[in-house]
Structure 1
Amino acid sequence: MFREVEEPVPGPGEALVKVAAFSVNRGETFQLESDRPGWRPGKDVAGLVVQPACDGSGPAAGARVVGHPPAAGWAEYAAVPTGSLAEIPASVPAPVAAALPLAGLTALRLLRASGATAGTRVLLTGASGGVGHYFTELAAAAGAEVTAVTATPERGRRLAELGAAVVHDVADAAGPFDAVLESTGGDVLPRALARVAPGGTLIWFGQAARRPVTLDFFAFFDGPESASIRHFHYAGEPFGADLATLVRLTAAGRLHPEIGRVAGWAETAAVLTDLRERRIRGNAVLTLESTR
């Protein structure tokens, strides 16, 4: 439901951004199910600074920026902490920049957490979303051997182009793997754990299936002996430096946001439905009147 709200008033250390494009994420569609008075979604925005922070921090008025506000980014204006902003060059369009924050930050920080460097064998489940595409390109560029699990060949096509070996069931992944990045949950997690090398790590960063997970302690002795399971969440301000890294790699042609849908903001409801039903590969971006 669309409604008019007051233009946000930036607090200390915040800039007011006129939003040109914002990305919507599948996880946000589930957040819409809960009643949270006063809360509005939106964590990925790109646009113009129209009011710089009163403390002098961050970009000046007129700067093109990408931002990661804590909420309320699905709007014409957003108040964004200056520590969560990065400037974008003219060569990076606003819809492309808007696809970077949540998925890109998660992938970049997952790369560090997994230690995916040259020769590391990595298994990534639920790989066909925005995070999966970013992670695959970043990890492959670092020399890691990435195996990506996708539901269909079509959803895995671009991942293969980015350097991943693509399978459509965890059982088909030729392990063992030094690191398994698991975002599906349900019965996939224990099957993915079985692919971890002795002493390796499973990093649990999502629950897309929204089903409970049951693990058998004795299953560790069938292969992933002495393996560890780690919970991961990308959050942790400031985000600006990592956003700047993502922008730099994109501008240099070393990172290619996979944007499965770009549409006008009036199509929000249809895009959210298609995203939730997995009819969009990669990111979905909605635009307002300007896409500079």
Structure 2
Amino acid sequence: MRRLIPTGEAARPVAFAEAPQPVPEPGEALVRIEAFAPNRGETFLLENPRAGLLPGKDIAGLVVQAAADGSGPGVGARVVGHPGQGGWAEYAAVPTHSLAVLPDGIDSVRAAALPLAGITALRLLRTAGSLAGRRVLLTGASGGVGHYVTELAVGAGAELTAVTATPVRGERLAELGAHLVYDVAAARGPFDVVLESTGGPALPAALSKVRPGGLLVWFGQVSRTPATLDFFDLLNGPERVAIQHFHYAGAPYGADLAALVRLVEQDRLHPEIGRTADWAETAATLVDLRERRIRGKAVLLTEGAM
């Protein structure tokens, strides 16, 4: 079969290679991949790839071999999955606890855009707690996670302010009900909850916007710049603020994937897909994703796409 492997080249991060079809473990199903969606964080891993890296966390496709232990969907089921690696290929062996069955009304393109960003959004908002009637600030809002967080938080009754680099990148967020600002300093606090994903100087700026007794959840550093907090600055800012580190990972993922699928099916969640292309265009798409030239998610289609 064909799969994409890292090259270590900035201008062409991946290339096709021939590889044996994966052999599933007893608790894994073999999925013929129809679509996959790279994440911006994966583009960073490709800059200096470790030996044996097989990228690909978000996939949708068709089960062609059910798990030997009897778990998970059967042969012929259309699924969305989060294998963790190896998804940029014609086939992937995926743990059944990281799969959810797709209804007929959800195509593989929208499904592939769900896993990492959608699971992150669900788990991030659970960490933040009840949002009805609360003021929320979201930084780095125009990526895949930000679109899901915005739609889910506004739908839960939050008053959400989204920080984006430009009006164009925030256009869809405004349609979803967010108030837009283009710099953290311009956000009019105080906020009950701040969801911070930028790092660097944005983190202390965002922290200064939290109300006394409020919460800042730190879930990323897309600026790739370390943040520095000054204790004495905090003395002059909000009191008793809680700072919580967040990372989405922790299997099983199947229940959250199923929840995301239901939200899409019920017309309550709408994946923002900025590009759909043949997987022959993966290298160029990865560069554009890394350089933030794609709003929302990018989805690549394999030869197996229906």
Tell me the TM-score range normalised by the shorter chain: over 0.9
Q: Which runs of 4+ in 1 moved over 6 A?
A: none
- The offset of 1:222, in angstroms, is 2.2
| Residues 116 and 128 of structure 1, relative CA distance in 2, 3 Å threshold | farther
Which of 23, 36, 39 aligns to 2:37? It is 23
CA distance, structure 2, for counterparts of residue 8 and residue 290 of structure 1: 16
Match of 2:90 in 1: 76
Once the two structures are superposed, residues 126-176 of structure 1 have per-residue CA deviations (whole angstroms, 9 ceiling, x without a partner) of 000000000000010100111000000000110011111111011111111
Counterpart amino acid of residue 264 in structure 1:
D
CA distance, structure 2, for counterparts of residue 23 and residue 208 of structure 1: 18
Match of 1:14 in 2: 28
- The offset of 1:291, in angstroms, is 3.3
Match of 2:224 in 1: 210
Match of 1:245 in 2: 259
CA distance, structure 1, for counterparts of residue 44 and residue 225 of structure 2: 14
For the pair 1:155 / 2:169, whether they are aligned, the reply is: yes
For the pair 1:254 / 2:268, whether they are aligned, the reply is: yes
Which of 205, 208, 212 aligns to 1:194? It is 208
CA distance, structure 2, for counterparts of residue 120 and residue 14 of structure 1: 41
Secondary structure of the equivalent of 1:261? strand
CA distance, structure 2, for counterparts of residue 19 and residue 96 of structure 1: 14
Secondary structure of the equivalent of 2:212? strand
Number of equivalenced pairs: 292
Which of 233, 243, 246 aligns to 1:229? It is 243
For residues 44-55 of structure 1, the aligned pairs below 5 Å read 44-55=58-69
For residues 61-210 of structure 1, the aligned pairs below 5 Å read 61-210=75-224
Gaps of 5+ in 2: 1-14
CA distance, structure 1, for counterparts of residue 24 and residue 139 of structure 2: 39
Cα RMSD (Å): 0.9
TM-score, normalised via structure 2 length: 0.94
TM-score, normalised via structure 1 length: 0.98
- The offset of 1:225, in angstroms, is 1.0
| Residues 279 and 35 of structure 1, relative CA distance in 2, 3 Å threshold | closer
For structure 1, which segment, 92-101 or 111-120, has the greater mean C-alpha deviation from structure 2 after superposition?
111-120
Q: Percent identity between the aligned chains?
A: 69
